[in-house]
């Protein structure tokens, strides 16, 4: 099923087909009140990872058979979001009205803190509009992820060859945006708890400028899913850390985009400072 098959407007929680989706009220989503079970209290990590791994495995199998589409991707993202919420992870999203009011695709530029954002953003954005990601190229060479990322139309970059990455992003990203699909970009070289503007490239701004689409700033704090010591994707789950995600108003790129890049950096830094105070 393609993004065009989805109903427009605010997203249903349980639609006529019984499909679980995020419900935004006034552009805001908050985790519903949830009773956490004993195992979730004692070992939230042990509760979340089986759901996460099962979702990846099932999604990969379906994608390999050609039976995995956009709605299936959103379904799997929702299941992981719900698994996190069941162990007490509190998620709050603001600014979704900026996504709802877009006429077409946009480049969504945000900081990259943990695995969590790549797992739950499909549910948070995909309930509103078609979306895909710019991801590290190694995922396209990993058997369990390859079929999934190809199916969702993700764009792979090396993160070590800036010129080649820019060429790939401008070409493939322009194609996706031209078809109305928004693209999430994490311009940092790697995930990090601390936001360093010096490590935040302007590749997303350049894509928006070339495609003549707006930028949507994205600030997020997802420390609840820690980066692992040995395997970065598999850190512990800590429900005591609230998850905060904010989308900003659209920014049109003019000239070389330096001012717009700084606006995104300032948006992220301001929200991270407010959330940590």
CATH architecture of the domain with range 90-276? 3-Layer(aba) Sandwich (3.40)
Q: C-alpha distances in angstroms, 61 versus 122, 123, 155, 162? A: 19, 20, 21, 33
Q: Nearest 5°: CA angle at 110, between 109 and 114?
A: 140
Please check whether residue 131 is in contact with residue 240, taking contact to mean a CB–CB distance below 8 angstroms.
no
Distance, C-alpha 32 to centroid of its chain:
20
Q: Which pLDDT score is estimated for 18?
A: 58
Decide if pLDDT at 1 tops 50: no
**pLDDT at residue 152, as a whole number:** 96
Tell me the average pLDDT of the chain: 90
d(CA 171, CA 177): 10
Report yes or no: 127 and 137 within 8 Å, Cβ to Cβ.
no
Q: What digits encode the pLDDT tens for the residues 154-182?
A: 999 987 888 999 999 999 999 999 999 99
**pLDDT at residue number 269:** 97
Q: State how beta strands 243-247 and 215-221 pair.
A: antiparallel
- Kind and range of the H or E element at 130? none
Question: 230 vs 206, which has greater pLDDT?
Answer: 206
Across 11-15, average pLDDT: 35
Q: What is the mean pLDDT of residues 246-275?
A: 97
Tokens of 134: 């710019």
pLDDT average, residue stretch 225-253: 91
* Strand 215-221, strand 107-110: pairing: parallel
Q: Where are the beta strands (DSSP E) in the chain?
A: 29-30, 91-94, 107-110, 131-136, 155-157, 182-185, 215-221, 243-247
Pairing of strands 131-136, 155-157: parallel
State yes or no: pLDDT of 250 exceeds 60.
yes
**Do residues 125 and 182 lie in contact, with contact meaning Cβ atoms separated by under 8 Å?**
yes
pTM of the model: 0.91
**pLDDT of 142 over the 60 cut:** yes
How confident is residue 118, by pLDDT bands cut at 50, 70 and 90? very high
């Amino acid at each position: 099923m393609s993004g065009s098959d989805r109903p427009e407007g605010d997203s249903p929680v349980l639609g006529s087909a019984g499909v679980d989706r995020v419900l935004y009220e006034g552009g805001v989503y908050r985790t519903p009140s949830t009773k956490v079970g004993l195992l979730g209290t004692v070992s939230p990590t042990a509760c979340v990872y089986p759901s996460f791994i099962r979702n990846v495995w099932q999604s990969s199998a379906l994608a390999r058979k050609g039976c995995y589409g956009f709605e299936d991707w959103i379904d799997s993202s929702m299941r992981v979001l719900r698994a996190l919420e069941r162990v007490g992870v509190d998620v709050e999203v603001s600014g979704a009205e900026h996504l709802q009011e877009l006429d077409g695709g946009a480049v969504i530029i945000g900081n990259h803190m943990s695995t969590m954002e790549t797992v739950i953003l499909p549910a948070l954005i995909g309930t509103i509009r078609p979306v895909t990601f710019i991801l590290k190229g190694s995922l396209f060479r990993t058997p369990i992820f390859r079929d999934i990322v190809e199916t969702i139309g993700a764009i792979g970059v090396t993160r070590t060859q800036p010129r080649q990455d820019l060429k790939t992003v401008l070409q493939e990203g322009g194609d996706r945006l031209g078809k109305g699909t928004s693209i999430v970009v994490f311009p940092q070289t790697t995930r990090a708890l601390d936001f360093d503007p010096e490590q935040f490239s302007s590749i997303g701004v350049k894509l928006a400028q070339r495609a003549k689409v707006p930028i949507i700033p994205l600030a997020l704090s997802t420390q609840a899913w820690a980066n692992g010591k040995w395997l970065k994707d598999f850190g512990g789950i800590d429900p005591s850390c609230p998850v905060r995600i904010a989308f900003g108003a659209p920014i049109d790129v003019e000239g070389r985009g330096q001012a717009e890049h700084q606006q995104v950096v300032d948006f992220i830094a301001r929200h991270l400072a407010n959330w940590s105070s």
